[in-house]
């Protein structure tokens, strides 16, 4: 491999990129847009659900209970009613998402260990439903501390305790993963079209007639994107810390090393696509075939542990799955990369295989 | 095949099939060094395919190729630094400037940094890009693009230059300038293989080969090729040229009748007193006409070579 030729390809690539406004906008625009979208709009842990309260008991304990519910931040009471029927009306009209009904015999029910409170939920939204279920576990946990009258151990005594994200803010879970999602989307796409574009524009016939080798061309072309990937990582991390107070428990170096591993794996994958696709449009379609399973199966959106065995195997083949484990480990649990060696190894192996196949597949021939 | 110094390209029994279609059908070719060698043929006759095989970009189905003493396609990598190739479609980067394109090619061809600066400066001057160095290649005219492509193809001072229809989208004046550049290069010892479908360009070559439907139908100097047609070209000056043309076009032994102004250029198959037979035919049609011997040109060579082959195939 000749470094002068390799640099020439890289410089050419950078110069072309500088004049390509859309690509330039994508480099920073996609991370910012995704971060804001995922961080604010797609909020799995709902907060501030509009609620109606019908406290028909109106005792000290019942008022304390309602206060505790409000204190979770999950509901914010908008209306108070005197009968559950009124709440059901408002629920149906969509004015509230949650209704809390404290029956008049609340105290008696508490002592008997019967159902003491009812939470009415708008079940048409599954996210709201699960939020309310969390809420329903709350009263029996906290009543003993309300200093009214101690209860015996009963239902709901087992609370969900969340380490590493005690407030259960989704942003904390989402932002580290988002680094991976953005890198998967942009890196594969950028390099996926890189080789095909030269073919479509007719530059390839010129290039293969020159002494530049497949390896020089491939490596030279993807080199600028490594830097771009690191810029994107920085943008997401900086905004994530600033807007969503996402903690970085582990070392920043490990975060960047993990990002680097994913960048290289994705660039190699993109090149592989590029040697296969016949047009830029085809390359984009193929990118989508990688992107969709990556988002759905990597553990970014749905828990990996809950997937069927076969799906887990497929997920293990995706670079994003391994990155997701590494970055959550490093950023949230404070793990170091050597502790996460199986995923480090998996990404390195993926890169080596994909890059080799891409270079071998690319022939300096027109036939 | 032993390489010898006087020959730049030697191809024997060259065949290229794309599926069932034989794009190139047993072509033999010898290109002497420091010559401008023209490849003449209609679109789809196999000119580009042949050039691509000679550069080592396409693998021949059969046949042997030796270029600058190297066996192609096996030694194509060694050949790349010694040849320049200008593609039919503009293949430099439209989103790079003139200078950036040249710098990229210089680096890729292994010129050192200082040599690159020198050489790019030299070419910018030689090819009249002094005031356009920072212009994007994509925004230039057809003639300017071709000039830039040529500058790019010769940046490393190749011994052999392949040009695939370099002037197909270029105005006449730019074409003339372009050919002056080619002769400058040939004068400096560069061998040039250039394909074209312009007769006037073919006429300027030292030697030409005519390709038709993948077969080599003529090969020689323009003078040799036109000389071989002596006596077969006839000029008919008639008062009513369209009618005269109709009278002549079906005659046995008449290959083509083309109107040029008020005269007709007639190409005949044999030279056995062609003029007399034409005179008889015109008199039979009661058309007033003067029939004189014409000077055969390359168009006649082209028509005779391509029609002759079609006839032989019909007969077979």
A15:B96 CB<8 A: yes
Rg, chain B, Cα only: 23
The whole-angstrom separation of Cα A113 and Cα A137 is 14
3-state secondary structure of A348: helix
Quick one: pLDDT at residue A168?
A: 55
For the segment B2-14, the average pLDDT, to the nearest whole number, is: 81
Residue A319 maps to a domain: yes
Residue A146 pLDDT class (50, 70, 90 cuts): very low
Quick one: pLDDT at residue B275?
A: 77
Could you tell me if A116 and A178 lie in one domain?
no
Distance from first CA to last CA of chain B, Å, rounded?
34
Residue A15 has its nearest CB partner, among B58, B91, B100, at B100
DSSP A204-237: HHHHHTSS--HHHHHHHHHHHHHHHHHHHHHHHH
End residue of a domain, out of A115, A146, A177: A146
Q: Both tokens of residue A176?
A: 């580290």
Calculate ∠ Cα A176-A181-A184, nearest 5°. Answer: 130
B81 touches chain A (CB under 8 A): yes
Tens-place pLDDT, residues B240-258: 888 888 888 878 888 888 8
Q: What does DSSP say about strands B191-196 and B215-220: parallel, antiparallel, or unpaired? A: unpaired
Residue A151 maps to a domain: no
Calculate ∠ Cα A216-A218-A223, nearest 5°. Answer: 90
Strongest mean pLDDT among A28-32, A44-48, A323-327: A323-327
Q: Is B176 exposed, middle or buried (0-12, 13-18, 19+ CB in 10 A)?
A: middle
Strand order in the sheet with B207-212: B83-86, B160-164, B191-196, B36-40, B207-212, B215-220
Residue A292 maps to a domain: yes
Position B152 pLDDT exceeds 90: yes
Could you tell me if A62 and A138 lie in one domain?
yes
Could you tell me if A21 and A54 lie in one domain?
no
Position B232 pLDDT exceeds 90: no
Cβ-based contacts under 8 A for chains A and B: 74
B77 touches chain A (CB under 8 A): yes
Position A151 pLDDT exceeds 50: no
Tens-place pLDDT, residues B86-115: 999 999 999 999 999 999 999 999 999 999
3-state secondary structure of A309: helix
Which residues of B are less than 8 Å from A203 in CB distance?
A: 91-93
Residue A130 maps to a domain: yes
Q: How big is chain B, counted in residues?
A: 316
Residue A12 maps to a domain: yes
Q: What are phi and psi of A256, to 5 degrees?
A: -70, -35
Calculate ∠ Cα B187-B189-B192, nearest 5°. Answer: 85
Write the secondary structure of chain B as one string of H (helix), E (strand) and C (coil).
Answer: CCCCCCEEEEEEEEEEEECCEEEEEEEEEEEECCCEEEEECCCCCCHHHHHHHHHCCCCCCEEEEEECCEEECCCHHHHHCCEEEECCCCCCCCCCEHHHHHHHHHHHCCCCHHHHHHHHHHHHHHCCCCCCCCCEHHHCCHHHHHHHHHHHHCCCCCCEEEEECCCCCCCHHHHHHHHHHHHHHHHCCCEEEEEECCHHHHHHCCEEEEEECCEEEEEECHHHHHHCCCCCEEEEEECCHHHHHHHHHCCCCEEEEEEECCEEEEEECCCCCHHHHHHHHHHHCCCCEEEEECCCCHHHHHHHHHHHHHHHHHHC
B107:A2 CB<8 A: no
Quick one: pLDDT at residue A342?
A: 93
For residues A356 and A82, the model is more confident at A356
User: Which segment of A133-137, A292-296, A324-328, B186-190 scores lowest on mean pLDDT?
Assistant: A133-137
Tens-place pLDDT, residues A230-250: 999 999 999 988 888 888 888
The whole-angstrom separation of Cα B150 and Cα B136 is 16
Which residues sit opposite A118 in a β-bridge?
A: A101
B90 touches chain A (CB under 8 A): yes
Query: If you search the block for the tokens 């484990």, which residue do you land on?
Result: A325
A32 touches chain B (CB under 8 A): no
B90:A366 CB<8 A: no
Which segments within chain A are labelled E, that is strand?
49-55, 75-80, 98-102, 118-121
Residue A127 maps to a domain: yes
Q: What does DSSP say about strands B233-238 and B215-220: parallel, antiparallel, or unpaired? A: unpaired
Calculate ∠ Cα B49-B302-B164, nearest 5°. Answer: 30
Quick one: pLDDT at residue A128?
A: 66
Residue A155 maps to a domain: no
Quick one: pLDDT at residue A126?
A: 59
Could you tell me if A220 and A289 lie in one domain?
yes
Could you tell me if A251 and A346 lie in one domain?
yes
Tens-place pLDDT, residues A165-193: 555 566 677 888 889 999 998 999 888 88
CA distances from B117 to A7, B92, B172 (A): 16, 19, 32
Question: In terms of C-beta distances under 8 Å and separation of at least 24 residues, what long-range contacts does A310-319 make, across chains too?
Answer: A316/A346, A318/A290, A318/A293, A318/A294, A319/A184, A319/A262, A319/A265, A319/A266, A319/A269, A319/A294, A319/A347, A319/A350
Quick one: pLDDT at residue A124?
A: 66
A211 touches chain B (CB under 8 A): yes
Q: What does DSSP say about strands B233-238 and B263-268: parallel, antiparallel, or unpaired? A: antiparallel
B55 touches chain A (CB under 8 A): yes
B99 touches chain A (CB under 8 A): no
B81:A19 CB<8 A: no
Could you tell me if A107 and A32 lie in one domain?
no
A308 neighbors A297 (Cβ within 8 angstroms): no
Residue A132 pLDDT class (50, 70, 90 cuts): low
Residue A145 pLDDT class (50, 70, 90 cuts): very low
Could you tell me if A8 and A68 lie in one domain?
no
Quick one: pLDDT at residue A253?
A: 95
ipTM of predicted assembly, 2 dp: 0.85
Position A135 pLDDT exceeds 80: no
A209 neighbors B85 (Cβ within 8 angstroms): yes
Question: Who's near B133: CB < 8 A, 6+ residues apart?
Answer: B97, B98, B99, B124
B85 touches chain A (CB under 8 A): yes
Could you tell me if A21 and A53 lie in one domain?
no
Could you tell me if A288 and A312 lie in one domain?
yes
- Number of independent structural domains in chain A: 2
Give Dmax (Cα) for chain A: 90
B57:A16 CB<8 A: no
Give Dmax (Cα) for chain B: 77
Tens-place pLDDT, residues B66-79: 999 999 889 999 99
B146 neighbors B129 (Cβ within 8 angstroms): no
Residue B315 pLDDT class (50, 70, 90 cuts): low
The whole-angstrom separation of Cα B16 and Cα B63 is 9
Q: Is A50 exposed, middle or buried (0-12, 13-18, 19+ CB in 10 A)?
A: middle
Domain with A98 in it: what CATH number?
3.40.1710.10
CA distance B171 to chain A (A): 22
Domains with residue ranges and CATH for chain B: 7-220 (3.40.50.300), 230-295 (3.30.70.100)
Q: Both tokens of residue B81?
A: 């630094």
End residue of a domain, out of A146, A177, A194: A146
Quick one: pLDDT at residue A150?
A: 36
3-state secondary structure of A120: strand
A16:B104 CB<8 A: no
B108 touches chain A (CB under 8 A): yes
CA distances from B176 to A303, B40, B181, B182 (A): 71, 18, 9, 10
Q: Both tokens of residue B100?
A: 């950036």
Asked, as a colleague might, if the bond just before B165 is cis with ω within 30 of 0, I would say: no
Q: Both tokens of residue A25?
A: 């906008």
Which residues sit opposite A101 in a β-bridge?
A: A54, A118
Calculate ∠ Cα A232-A237-A243, nearest 5°. Answer: 120
Residue A259 maps to a domain: yes
DSSP A104: T
B104 touches chain A (CB under 8 A): yes
Could you tell me if A203 and A260 lie in one domain?
yes
Could you tell me if A311 and A205 lie in one domain?
yes
Question: Who's near A21: CB < 8 A, 6+ residues apart?
Answer: none
Question: Who's near B171: CB < 8 A, 6+ residues apart?
Answer: B142, B143
B50 neighbors B41 (Cβ within 8 angstroms): no
A128 neighbors A98 (Cβ within 8 angstroms): yes
For the segment B24-49, the average pLDDT, to the nearest whole number, is: 91
Q: What are phi and psi of A115, to 5 degrees?
A: -65, 120
Could you tell me if A125 and A186 lie in one domain?
no
Structural domain of residue A309, as residue ranges?
3-42+169-361
Residue B81 has its nearest CB partner, among A201, A211, A364, at A211
Which residues of B are less than 8 Å from A219 in CB distance?
A: none
Residue A361 pLDDT class (50, 70, 90 cuts): confident
């Amino acid at each position: 491999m000749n470094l002068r030729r390799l640099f020439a390809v890289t410089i050419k690539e950078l110069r072309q990129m500088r004049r390509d406004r859309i690509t330039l906008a994508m480099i920073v625009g996609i991370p910012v847009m995704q971060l804001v979208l995922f961080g604010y709009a797609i909020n799995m842990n709902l907060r501030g659900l509009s609620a109606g309260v019908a406290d028909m008991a109106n005792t000290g304990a019942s008022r304390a209970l309602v206060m505790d519910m409000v204190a979770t931040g999950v509901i914010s009471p908008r209306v108070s009613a005197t009968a559950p029927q009124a709440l059901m009306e408002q629920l149906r009209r969509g004015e509230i998402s949650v209704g809390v009904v404290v029956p008049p015999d609340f105290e008696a029910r508490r002592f008997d260990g019967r159902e003491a409170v009812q939470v009415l939920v708008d079940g048409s939204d599954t996210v709201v439903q699960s939020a309310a279920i969390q809420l329903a576990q709350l009263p029996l946990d906290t009543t003993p501390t309300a200093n009214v009258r101690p209860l015996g151990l009963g239902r709901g005594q087992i609370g969900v305790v969340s380490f590493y994200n005690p407030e259960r803010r989704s942003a904390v879970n989402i932002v580290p993963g988002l680094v991976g999602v953005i890198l998967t989307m942009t890196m594969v796409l950028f390099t996926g079209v890189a080789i095909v574009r030269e073919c479509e524009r007719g530059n390839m016939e010129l290039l293969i007639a020159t002494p530049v080798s497949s390896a020089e061309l491939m490596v030279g072309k993807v080199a600028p994107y490594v830097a771009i990937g690191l810029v994107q990582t920085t943008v997401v991390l900086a905004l994530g810390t600033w807007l969503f107070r996402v903690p970085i428990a582990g070392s920043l170096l490990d975060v960047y090393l993990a990002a680097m591993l994913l960048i290289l794996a994705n660039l190699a994958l993109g090149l592989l696509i590029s040697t296969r696709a016949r047009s830029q449009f085809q390359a984009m379609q193929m990118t989508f075939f990688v992107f969709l399973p990556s988002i759905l199966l990597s553990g970014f959106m749905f828990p990996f542990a809950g997937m069927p065995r076969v799906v887990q195997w497929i997920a293990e083949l995706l670079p994003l799955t391994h990155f997701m484990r590494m970055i959550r480990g490093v950023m949230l649990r404070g793990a170091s990369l050597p502790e996460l060696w199986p995923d480090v190894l998996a990404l390195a192996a993926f890169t080596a295989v994909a890059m080799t196949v891409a270079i071998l597949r690319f022939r300096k021939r027109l036939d | 095949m032993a390489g010898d110094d006087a020959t730049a390209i030697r191809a024997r029994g060259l065949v290229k099939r794309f599926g069932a279609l034989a794009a190139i059908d047993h072509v033999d070719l010898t290109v002497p060094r420091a010559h401008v060698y023209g490849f003449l043929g209609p679109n789809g006759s196999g000119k580009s395919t042949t050039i691509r095989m000679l550069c080592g970009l396409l693998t021949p189905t059969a046949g042997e190729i030796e270029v600058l003493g190297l066996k192609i396609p096996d030694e194509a990598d060694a050949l790349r630094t010694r040849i320049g190739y200008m593609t039919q479609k503009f293949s430099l980067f439209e989103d790079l400037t003139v200078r950036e394109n040249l710098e990229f090619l210089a680096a890729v061809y292994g010129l050192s940094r200082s040599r690159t600066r020198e050489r790019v400066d030299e070419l910018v001057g030689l090819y009249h890009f002094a005031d356009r160095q920072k212009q994007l290649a994509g925004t230039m005219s057809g003639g300017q693009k071709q000039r830039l492509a040529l500058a790019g193809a010769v940046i490393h001072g190749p011994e052999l230059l392949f040009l695939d229809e370099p002037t197909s989208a270029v105005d006449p004046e730019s074409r003339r300038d372009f050919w002056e550049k080619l002769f400058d290069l040939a004068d400096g010892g560069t061998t040039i293989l250039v394909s074209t479908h312009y007769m006037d360009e073919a006429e300027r070559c030292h030697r030409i080969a005519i390709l038709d439907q993948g077969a080599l139908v003529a090969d020689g100097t323009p003078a040799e090729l036109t000389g071989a047609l002596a006596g077969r070209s006839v000029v008919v000056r008639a008062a009513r040229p369209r009618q005269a043309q109709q009278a002549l076009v079906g005659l046995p032994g008449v290959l083509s009748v083309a109107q040029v102004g008020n005269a007709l250029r007639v190409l005949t198959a044999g030279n056995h007193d062609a003029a007399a037979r034409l005179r008889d035919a015109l008199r039979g049609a009661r058309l007033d006409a003067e029939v004189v011997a014409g000077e055969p040109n390359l168009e006649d060579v082209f028509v005779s070579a391509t029609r002759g082959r079609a006839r032989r195939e019909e007969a077979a």
